């Protein structure tokens, strides 16, 4: 076997290199910059300086990539088991702004580091779940990545007279619609993201029958996990987190019942027979 490109040497050195002129290759398909980041994060390799330098200059080419295609790339970036390293590399190469511009805008002014900490916690949690063979959903990651953009808009709406719940509903729709202009976010996931956000105010209510009803909500667990992340990142919600943790321990039957209801009924439904125009069974004679 003849190694014309020096691949074996690069593998031994832990180096990623593009075949040909990197700038030309990136201009041919800007997604190659995202793939370079993904492989570097996944393999723990370094991107060769010749392949690395153009990334800082050509990230804007991602604006020309179809938003639907970028959604598939985002799934590969953050749900491949190396989300923490991937996120850090995207920030390092200034590529996050072309995938999540609203998120990148707030991170630039994240003076206390809260938002960055929240995202890192979510990425760590995602990597741990993937390593353990547990399911992950882009709805939760989007809930984290778009949390502060949504909060920023929600505060503006509250100043205009909306309640907290109303502002979250309205702001959630607006920021996700704007985000989909850059990276398409399918409705089946965006609805889940918005539910996670909308349940955050309800988690503050710990009296009456509301908590028991909330345990039965299909998005309760994700919303509770989101609240935990917020507390870990620096928000003052630890007492509330402890209350909900204890409440779940005290009501295992409610949680079990909710879990059974959440399992989809896989039994195939029989399709009704079509009647023939003459009113018969529709089957051939």
d(CA 25, CA 47): 15
Handedness of CA 168, 170, 171, 175 (dihedral sign): positive
pLDDT tens string 178-187: 999 999 999 9
pLDDT tens string 198-229: 999 999 999 998 999 999 999 999 999 999 99
pLDDT tens string 62-115: 999 999 999 999 999 999 999 999 999 999 999 999 999 999 999 999 988 999
Predicted model pTM: 0.84
Is the pLDDT assigned to residue 263 strictly greater than 80?
no
pLDDT tens string 110-131: 988 999 999 999 999 999 999 9
Domains observed in the chain: 66-261 (1.10.3090.10)
């Amino acid at each position: 076997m003849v190694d014309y490109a020096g691949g074996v040497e690069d593998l031994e050195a832990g180096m990623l290199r593009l075949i040909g002129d990197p700038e030309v290759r990136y201009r041919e398909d800007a997604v190659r910059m995202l793939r370079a980041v993904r492989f570097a994060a996944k393999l723990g390799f370094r991107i060769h300086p010749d392949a690395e330098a153009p990334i800082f200059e050509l990230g804007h080419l991602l604006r020309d990539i179809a938003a639907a295609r970028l959604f598939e790339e985002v799934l590969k970036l953050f749900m491949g088991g190396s989300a923490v390293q991937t996120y850090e590399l995207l920030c390092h190469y200034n590529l996050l702004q072309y995938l999540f511009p609203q998120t990148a805008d707030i991170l630039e002014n994240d003076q206390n580091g809260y938002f960055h900490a929240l995202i890192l916690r979510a990425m760590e949690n995602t990597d741990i779940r993937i390593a353990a063979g547990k399911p992950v959903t882009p709805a939760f990651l989007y809930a984290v990545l778009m949390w502060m953009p949504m909060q920023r808009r929600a505060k503006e709406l509250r100043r205009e007279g909306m309640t907290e719940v109303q502002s979250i509903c309205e702001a959630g729709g607006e920021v996700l619609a704007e985000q989909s202009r850059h990276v398409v976010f399918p409705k089946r996931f965006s609805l889940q993201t918005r539910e996670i956000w909308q349940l955050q105010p309800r988690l503050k209510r710990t009296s009456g029958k509301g908590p028991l009803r909330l345990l039965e909500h299909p998005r309760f667990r994700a919303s509770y996990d989101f609240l935990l992340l917020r507390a870990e990142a620096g928000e003052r919600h630890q007492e509330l987190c402890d209350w909900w943790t204890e409440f779940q321990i005290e009501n295992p039957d409610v949680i079990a019942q909710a879990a059974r209801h959440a399992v989809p009924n896989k039994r195939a439904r029989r399709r009704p027979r079509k009647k023939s125009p003459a009113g018969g069974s529709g089957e051939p004679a």
